Chain A
Amino acid sequence: MSETANINISIAILLLPLLGFIIVLFFGKRFPKIYLAEVGIISFAFILSLVVGYSKLTSFLHQDLLFSFTWINFGNVPKIGELTVDLGIKIDNLTVIMLFVVNLISMLVHIYSIAYMEGDKRYSRYFSYLGIFTFSMLGIVLTDNLLMMYIFWELVGLSSYLLIGFWYEKQSASDAGKKAFLTNRIGDIGMFIGILILFTNYKSFSFDFIYSQIANGILPYGSEVWLTAAGILVFMGAVGKSAQFPLHVWLPDAMEGPTPVSALIHAATMVAAGVYLVARIFVMLTADAMLVIAIVGAVTSLFAATIALTQNDIKKVLAYSTVSQLGYMIMALGVGAYTYAFFHLVTHAFFKACLFLGSGSVIHSMHHEQDIREMGGLKKKMPITYYTFLISTLAISGIPLTSGFLSKDGLLAGTLAFGELTGHWLIPIMGFLVAFLTAFYMFRLVILTFHGEPRNQHKFDHAHESPFVMVMPLVVLSVLSTFIWYTPNPIGATDGWFATEWVQTPQTVVPETSRFDFMVREPHEASVGEHGLIAHSEKYEHAMHWAHYPAMILSILLGGLGILLAFTMYQWKKISPDNIADKVKSLYKGSLNKWYVDEIYDASFISGTLGLGNILSWFDKWIVDGIVNGSATLTRVFSKISGWFDTYIVDGFVNATAFISGFIGLNFKRMQTGKVQTYIVLVVFSIIVLFFIIGPF
């Protein structure tokens, strides 16, 4: 297939879900069966993405397919010069793999939702929302520039908001939607500033153009500090969208949405968009920016894992586990393990979607019961759900033969190599601790839900295996959670095609002075080793090689230990979890209450904002309004005074003149008697007077 054909099909893949959205949104009321069109469209898009993926990974493995056009031509802008805004798509290996993942999970969730959402009063609207989400997510995946990235970034935020608050009659659901939207906004502001820093310097949004400029030594504002700042600011978008500490608070609340939505958006795809974004900007990250990213990721993953230990809501456990795993991926990008971060993104998308859909299956059959204390013993009732859930749990715990083992092992080896090369040993320690905690809380979840005796007999009696359309996606996803799809060697990802051929660490463009010395820029500096990582130095290859077995052994050991502990505590009941909780009561309470992050935010930012709002409203009311009202009052007083002046002084003068004239007239009128005698007397009198004045006397 030619290059253009691939590009055209990719554009079709992008636009098909939008078409589905429009059709279902506008005709959903009239034709209740129209949602089948949406399902069909997504399935078609999935088949197309398979075609593109196959063609790209066979014919164009080391070549990026590019397509762009000028969207807005500003012409010659004064002081800036020629300015055009280009849109376009870039299809590299990351893109086609993501296209496949997004379309596959989206399709499975569509199929699953047919049964799960049955009977909902906004049934077809739900499918149209899924359509716009898929469209926006594919936009993020396909874009070749930061502007489109930002636009689609906001669109996934919107569709996430719509779907979290889908049951908006529930107060908690509409609150959760708002919370997700606002929390994401904080990260997006940082991302926006970062994009603008890059745009003002390079007059372009295109990734490739910006990177080539940086590679040519043109730094933002001529300083490496600004490059670091731009990297961290764009990363802030990922902090929001991928629910990294301290903006992770929205994701657990987002579980108010329908469970298939949690699987699609809040586990597999949208939250991974943050990781995808960091992978896209990976080549321009300086050492400082990478360290920040690694620390944020490590802190997030440990923090969320400790919370997941004590949660009792099946979806909340999975939500915190998602946060924790996303922290893993971010941490992996921070330590330079680009390939494994993306690998983990893909494997996590499959097994976490499977876990969420499995939990949805449980919730569905338990009549919307989400508390694991009410479950137990469901293994007998729901065997398919149980086994698929178990496979995914094994994958997330990093047990050999699963996909999760491969990606997690590589990722942890990356942190070990990073520790070896830079001395930041705390990051691998946190990583391994999380591996242990993950295995523990995931098996706690499995045991409490599926094993043992039913704790709520009534609900247990009504439980049943889900219908075919719900079980089928579970099976597909759990099959994809095994190693065979990624590598023929179950304990070594490096023998496979995924981590060696398909996804390779790109060459950094950061100047030598501000990058980690194991990141290389020129191909000839790199070692094309057995791991196929072309953008790492030989030193890094050695470190990675050295870290491979310790990481593998440690992660299997810790995972096994976690599972053993979970079984001892919850299956065999040798150790009572309540006793432990009593012993470390403050820790237990802290974890149960999510370390009071929400409360801290309530007390600091939210009440701070409200307080600021109150102060501002007070200021408005008394100072601004006061000035306005004061000036109004002043004007009134002035106009009163000038009115008084008018009435009494000006009018007074006028009236007085008139009055005096009238008065004089009145008095002189008397002289005009019309009597000749009077006149004569006057004449005589006047003559006499005149005589006296001018006369000779």
Chain B
Amino acid sequence: MEVGLNHFLTVSVALFALGLYGVVTRKNAVMVLMGVELILNSANINFVAFSRFGNLGINGQIYALFVIILAAAEAAIALAIVLNIYKTFANVNIDEIKNLKE
């Protein structure tokens, strides 16, 4: 059986769903960030898959590279914020960090 576009997209959707699930359900900020990484990577898979099977061409791979770089930067900044939050509240549980709510 030939591996086609649908297979990639299926993996990508599964990965997106898992990432979303992680973002929504996890209480630990770090775990949320990891969910976000999963979502970004599912997008990468899409880009690469469309680069191979669609008419996106080499651009898809370039976009994927950008996303990887962006993810690296985002992870760095987000982890820095999480570190600061931890320093302030001694906690990284996003449910309890709600000083802005009230």
Which residues of A line the B interface, CB within 8 A? 674-677, 680-681, 684
Residues of B within 8 A of A675 (CB): 94-95
Residues of A within 8 A of B98 (CB): 674
Stretch from B20-28, B57-65, B74-82, B83-91 at the A interface = B20-28
**Docked complex Cα distance between A674 and B98 (Å):** 7
Interface string of B1-27 (1 = CB under 8 A from A): 000000000000000000010011100
The 4 closest A-B pairs by CB, nearest first: A674-B101, A677-B24, A674-B98, A681-B24
Q: Which partner residue on chain B sits nearest A676 by CB separation?
A: B94
Given contacts A674-B101, A677-B23, A677-B25, could you give 12 more A-B pairs where the C-beta distance is less than 8 Å?
A674-B100, A674-B102, A675-B94, A675-B95, A676-B94, A677-B24, A677-B94, A680-B20, A680-B23, A680-B24, A681-B24, A684-B20
**Docked complex Cα distance between A681 and B23 (Å):** 9
Instruction: Summarize B's interface: helix, strand, loop or mixed.
Output: loop
| Distance to closest chain A CB from B45 (angstroms) | 19
Residues of A within 8 A of B25 (CB): 677
Residues of B within 8 A of A684 (CB): 20
**Docked complex Cα distance between A684 and B23 (Å):** 12
Residues of A within 8 A of B94 (CB): 675-677
Residues B21-41 near A (CB distance < 8 A): 23-25
Q: Which partner residue on chain B sits nearest A684 by CB separation?
A: B20
Residues of B within 8 A of A674 (CB): 98, 100-102
**Docked complex Cα distance between A98 and B25 (Å):** 132
**Docked complex Cα distance between A575 and B25 (Å):** 147
The CB with the most chain B CB atoms within 10 A, among A674, A675, A677, is that of A677
Residues of B within 8 A of A681 (CB): 24
Chain B, interface size category, equals 10 to 19
Q: Which partner residue on chain A sits nearest B24 by CB separation?
A: A677
Residues of B within 8 A of A676 (CB): 94
**Docked complex Cα distance between A674 and B97 (Å):** 10
Residues of A within 8 A of B23 (CB): 677, 680
| Distance to closest chain B CB from A317 (angstroms) | 116
Residues of A within 8 A of B24 (CB): 677, 680-681
**Docked complex Cα distance between A677 and B98 (Å):** 13
Q: Which partner residue on chain B sits nearest A679 by CB separation?
A: B24
Which residues of B line the A interface, CB within 8 A? 20, 23-25, 94-95, 98, 100-102
Q: Which partner residue on chain B sits nearest A675 by CB separation?
A: B95
**Docked complex Cα distance between A366 and B51 (Å):** 157
Residues of A within 8 A of B102 (CB): 674
**Docked complex Cα distance between A55 and B88 (Å):** 137
| Distance to closest chain B CB from A221 (angstroms) | 100
Q: Which partner residue on chain A sits nearest B98 by CB separation?
A: A674
What would 16 A/B residue contacts be, using CB atoms closer than 8 Å? A674-B98, A674-B100, A674-B101, A674-B102, A675-B94, A675-B95, A676-B94, A677-B23, A677-B24, A677-B25, A677-B94, A680-B20, A680-B23, A680-B24, A681-B24, A684-B20
| Distance to closest chain A CB from B38 (angstroms) | 14
Instruction: Summarize A's interface: helix, strand, loop or mixed.
Output: helix
**Docked complex Cα distance between A263 and B100 (Å):** 116
| Distance to closest chain A CB from B88 (angstroms) | 17
Residues of A within 8 A of B95 (CB): 675
Q: Which partner residue on chain A sits nearest B29 by CB separation?
A: A676
| Distance to closest chain B CB from A669 (angstroms) | 12
Residues of B within 8 A of A680 (CB): 20, 23-24
The CB with the most chain A CB atoms within 10 A, among B24, B25, B95, B101, is that of B24
| Distance to closest chain A CB from B96 (angstroms) | 11
**Docked complex Cα distance between A681 and B20 (Å):** 9
| Distance to closest chain B CB from A243 (angstroms) | 107
**Docked complex Cα distance between A144 and B95 (Å):** 118
| Distance to closest chain B CB from A684 (angstroms) | 6
Q: Which partner residue on chain B sits nearest A678 by CB separation?
A: B24
**Docked complex Cα distance between A674 and B94 (Å):** 10
Q: Which partner residue on chain B sits nearest A681 by CB separation?
A: B24
| Distance to closest chain A CB from B39 (angstroms) | 11
Q: Which partner residue on chain A sits nearest B27 by CB separation?
A: A677
Q: Which partner residue on chain A sits nearest B94 by CB separation?
A: A676
| Distance to closest chain A CB from B15 (angstroms) | 15
| Distance to closest chain A CB from B16 (angstroms) | 10
**Docked complex Cα distance between A684 and B17 (Å):** 11
Q: Which partner residue on chain A sits nearest B101 by CB separation?
A: A674
**Docked complex Cα distance between A680 and B94 (Å):** 13
| Distance to closest chain B CB from A686 (angstroms) | 14
**Docked complex Cα distance between A276 and B63 (Å):** 140
**Docked complex Cα distance between A676 and B93 (Å):** 12
**Docked complex Cα distance between A681 and B24 (Å):** 7
**Docked complex Cα distance between A680 and B23 (Å):** 8
| Distance to closest chain A CB from B19 (angstroms) | 11
**Docked complex Cα distance between A516 and B23 (Å):** 136
**Docked complex Cα distance between A675 and B23 (Å):** 12
**Docked complex Cα distance between A14 and B90 (Å):** 124
**Docked complex Cα distance between A684 and B20 (Å):** 9
**Docked complex Cα distance between A675 and B100 (Å):** 11
Residues of B within 8 A of A677 (CB): 23-25, 94
| Distance to closest chain B CB from A679 (angstroms) | 10
**Docked complex Cα distance between A676 and B32 (Å):** 10
**Docked complex Cα distance between A674 and B100 (Å):** 9
**Docked complex Cα distance between A236 and B47 (Å):** 131
| Distance to closest chain A CB from B89 (angstroms) | 15
| Distance to closest chain B CB from A202 (angstroms) | 102
**Docked complex Cα distance between A676 and B98 (Å):** 10
**Docked complex Cα distance between A38 and B94 (Å):** 121
Residues of A within 8 A of B20 (CB): 680, 684
**Docked complex Cα distance between A677 and B94 (Å):** 9
**Docked complex Cα distance between A680 and B16 (Å):** 13
**Docked complex Cα distance between A681 and B95 (Å):** 15
Q: Which partner residue on chain B sits nearest A677 by CB separation?
A: B24
| Distance to closest chain A CB from B20 (angstroms) | 6
Q: Which partner residue on chain B sits nearest A674 by CB separation?
A: B101
**Docked complex Cα distance between A675 and B32 (Å):** 13
**Docked complex Cα distance between A456 and B94 (Å):** 135
Residues of A within 8 A of B101 (CB): 674
**Docked complex Cα distance between A675 and B27 (Å):** 10
Q: Which partner residue on chain A sits nearest B100 by CB separation?
A: A674
Q: Which partner residue on chain A sits nearest B20 by CB separation?
A: A684
**Docked complex Cα distance between A222 and B36 (Å):** 123
Q: Which partner residue on chain A sits nearest B25 by CB separation?
A: A677
**Docked complex Cα distance between A675 and B24 (Å):** 10
**Docked complex Cα distance between A495 and B87 (Å):** 154
Q: Which partner residue on chain A sits nearest B16 by CB separation?
A: A684
**Docked complex Cα distance between A676 and B95 (Å):** 8
**Docked complex Cα distance between A677 and B29 (Å):** 11
Q: Which partner residue on chain B sits nearest A673 by CB separation?
A: B101
| Distance to closest chain B CB from A51 (angstroms) | 119
**Docked complex Cα distance between A680 and B24 (Å):** 7
| Distance to closest chain B CB from A149 (angstroms) | 102
| Distance to closest chain A CB from B2 (angstroms) | 26
**Docked complex Cα distance between A171 and B46 (Å):** 129
**Docked complex Cα distance between A681 and B101 (Å):** 18
| Distance to closest chain A CB from B54 (angstroms) | 15
**Docked complex Cα distance between A559 and B95 (Å):** 141
| Distance to closest chain A CB from B82 (angstroms) | 13
| Distance to closest chain A CB from B8 (angstroms) | 20
| Distance to closest chain A CB from B25 (angstroms) | 7
